[in-house]
Amino acid sequence: MAENNVISVVDDDPSMCRMLARGIEAAGFEVAIFPSAEEFLVSGRAIHTACLILDVDLPGMNGIELQKLLNESGVEIPIVFISGHADEQTGNRALEAGAIGFFNKPFSIEGLVATIQNLEDQLNPI
């Protein structure tokens, strides 16, 4: 990924955030963690985010609402959703709105990292 770009993770579960950070950092990426959509928005990190790992179920603004807000604002960030409670309809709606992936918890961190690496390969072809 380009310099100064990070993988931002928005999830309100601290143990999930730790697991994601360890796995993503082990693959060589920088990670920024946010416990809510609102904290991600006010952080100013959206412009430095190469990929957003976004939980569907969040307190306050949920992940689908954040995706919609980013789309409406013209902010183009590749989004990979994660969820412990989403149904197939929610996953399809997220993908139709432009998400590049959707993982139901529990999921393989290797699969998630592979999705990020595939995105990197698409953005930075050799």
**Per-residue pLDDT tens digits for 3-50:** 447 999 999 999 999 999 999 999 999 999 999 999 999 999 998 999
Q: DSSP state, 34?
A: E
pTM of this prediction?
A: 0.91
Domain residue spans of the chain: 6-120
Mean pLDDT of the chain: 91
For the domain covering 6-120, report its CATH number. 3.40.50.2300
pLDDT at 84: 87
Q: What is the SS3 string spanning 44-106?
A: CHHHHEEEEEEECCCCCCCHHHHHHHHHHCCCCCCEEEEECCCCHHHHHHHHHCCCCEEEECC
Burial of 116 (0-12, 13-18, 19+ CB in 10 A): buried
Rounded to 5 degrees, what angle do the CA atoms 79, 81, 82 make? Answer: 150
